[in-house]
Amino acid sequence: MSTENIIEQKITETLEKNYMPYAMSVIISRAIPEIDGFKPSHRKLLYTMYKMGLLTGGRTKSANVVGQTMRLNPHGDMAIYETLVRLTRGNGALLHPFVDSKGNFGKQYSRDMVFAAPRYTEVKLDKICEEIFKDIDKNTVDYIDNYDGTCKEPVLLPTTFPNILANPNQGIAVGMASNICSFNLVELCNTTIAFLKNENTDILDTLKAPDLPSGGQLIYDKKEMEQIYRTGRGSFKVRAKYRYDKKNNCIEIYEIPYTTTVEAIIDKIVDLVKTGKIKDITDVRDETDLNGLKITLDLKKNTEPDKIMNKLFRLTPLQDTFNCNFNVLIKGTPMVLGIAGILKEWADFRINCKKRQIAFDINKKEEKLHLLKGLERILLDIDKAVHIIRNTAQDADVVPNLMKGFDIDLVQAEFIAEIKLRNLNKEYILNRINEIEHLEKELKEMRSTLNDEGKIKNIIIKELKEISKKYGQPRRTEIIFEDEILEIPEEHLVDDYNVKIFLTKQQYLKKIPLTSLRGSADQKLKEDDEIIQEIETSNKSDLLLFTNKHNVYKRKLHEIPDCKASSFGEYLPNLLSLEEDETIIYVVSTTDYSGHMLFSFDNGKVAKIRLDSYVTKTNRKKLSRAYANQAKLVHIMYLQQDTELVAFSSINKVLIFKTSSIPEKSMRDAQGVQVMRSKKGSTLVQVKTMDEVHLSNPDYYRTKNIPAIGYYLRPEDSNKSS
């Protein structure tokens, strides 16, 4: 193979050259919303509808809008239509929809409810878009060429309220994302007004909490909310709303968190019922209809609805978390801002829009005043004006002759020349000239306002009050406080029944309810497999699984599925994600972490570790250094209360010792104390309970003090103890 055409390139330079332009394009031109609250795809679509006259006219087919939008948005028709769907009233994704719709647009809360094709649906701009496009034709915002230079489009839309916070907005760019929750419009307008008056206002006083289109209950945590408001990052929890139908013994869920779907909730509940984690639900149905969302749960008799819902809140998306990331594009730069920061940027933007609108109006009025000033000149001698026009030989000379005759400029002369003959009366001209005084007064006020930011803020405040009154709605998301929630401890939500645990040599764990075990005592095992440990315990207990690699894995026993004697059970390397060559050697079940773990090592040392040493504040799944690793582990056991044990050495020495003589340790990896001393290089090879050995005279092997060498095994005991 020839290497002549191969050119070496530095990977960093190649990435910067080829990848960075794409990444920046996604960030700036696609995924991150700007201060007007829109991404480019939203803005192009709404502006197209505005230019189509859909703000005041009737609805048109969605396909028509999609086609027209392609002039500004060089994407496929379905990509544009999906953007349109999210903006509609029918879809329900926004607190204040921008598109009035007719037809099936799916639902934000449904994963499987598919929207109809664009040829079947109809749309127009909703009334609130009057505030989105207000004064857009008065030079309030900049315009740029579209992608092929055939028309113009606005860089931003001159929203008269902080739309960026009025509707939820999510975007995933390259290396960054944005997730903005919505707030109640009345609260938002009041907060913006307070901020315009005093930037140091306490935002929490007026902006209580987010308000989501899907409703539900927001669990209010003041510290979390302060963090979100201050930094633009953080999270809050939202849970579903439900009611109990006593007559039919069922729960009806009618509002769910914004971040989930009906199908996701039902799938999870069905899974919990199938795995036996929830036993009180007999049926789950999606009964959503024209009246709105409804998930119905049929219950068994004597089931407490609040208890079962608390369990579902813990185990399903019926309670979910909204993660806030207020990443906004400000003048081409992505910034994560708190509420005050966003309001400051929006206020600056809106003030600039207002200044441009006032400047535009001043310019128009000045032009009109200029024309009227020229008209005022001919009032002095209307006959002269008529005489000039009448005695001008050529049409092209009319304007120059008027300019010369009345000492006016070209624009004024053109205006006078275009006056109809019937209007060349004194009354008409006087009426028009009387406007001069009024115009001059207006211009004076407008120039004063233009140069006074305080006056501009007052105009914006007045607009916000009108918007709040006109479009404000009651809160959809109810605010509840953590202390109002009846928290049922997790252990109370777990079904309590007795189970038996089997650990096999080939690393299978079987959890079988005792009621099921009574029916079949024979355990199905793989070929050459055998049971190495059995425990009878409760479904509410914790399971500690010790490995040959000095680790312990922790699991809630109720999280492990029940099985039957006829199945192999759970394969532990998969269940626990064990390391290579790591095996489970011992299992302990506990509900209160009382008692001790006893570890015996070949160097004759025994460590007695408190079981509560394995308690963690967080729900950690794996603890390393579960026991000492300085010597080889010979024996491991759970010690609920002190007893006597029998130790055997490699030279057939035997020692009976009391575990009460071994001091307890709280450090998990403590080496313990010497129990059996070495003689001639002997090692500890085995430890058994008194029930496992049969000694003719146990007192012969007992010792009052440790460490001890032990006593040689008597011939009469050798067969009994093997």
What are the two backbone dihedrals, phi and then psi, of residue 423, each rounded to the nearest 5 degrees?
A: -90, 0
Active site includes 120? yes
What are the two backbone dihedrals, phi and then psi, of residue 547, each rounded to the nearest 5 degrees?
A: -120, 165
Q: Give the separation between CA 328 and CA 163, rounded to whole angstroms.
A: 12
Q: Give the separation between CA 164 and CA 343, rounded to whole angstroms.
A: 9
Q: Give the separation between CA 251 and CA 570, rounded to whole angstroms.
A: 34
Neighbouring-strand partners of residue 498? 538
* Count of CA atoms in the C-beta half-sphere (13 A) of 114: 4
Neighbouring-strand partners of residue 653? 712
Q: Give the separation between CA 264 and CA 241, rounded to whole angstroms.
A: 16
Name 384's Cβ contacts closer than 8 Å, sequence gap at least 6: 378, 405, 406
Residue 342 amino acid letter: I
Token pair 């099936």 in the structure block, residue: 104
Q: Give the closest residue to 610 by CA, choosing from 587, 635, 593.
A: 593
Measured in whole angstroms, how far is the alpha carbon of residue 186 from the centre of its chain? 24
Residue 123 amino acid letter: V
605-610 and 664-665 beta bridge pairing = parallel
List b or e across 615-630, with b for residues whose CB sees 16 or more CB atoms inside 10 angstroms: eeeeeeeebeebbbee
Q: Give the closest residue to 707 by CA, choosing from 659, 680, 674.
A: 674
233-239 and 319-325 beta bridge pairing = antiparallel
Q: Give the separation between CA 302 and CA 298, rounded to whole angstroms.
A: 12
478-481 and 217-220 beta bridge pairing = parallel
Q: Give the separation between CA 195 and CA 415, rounded to whole angstroms.
A: 47
Which position among 120, 143, 571, 700 bears the catalytic label?
120
Contact (CB, 8 A) for 607 and 635: no
- The DSSP string of 528-540 is T--EEEEEEEETT
- Cis omega (within 30 of 0) for bond into 213: no
Instruction: State the sign of the Cα–Cα–Cα–Cα dihedral 322, 328, 333, 337.
Output: negative
Q: Give the separation between CA 449 and CA 459, rounded to whole angstroms.
A: 9
Q: What is the DSSP letter of 505?
A: T
Contact (CB, 8 A) for 93 and 168: yes
Q: Which residues are catalytic?
A: 120
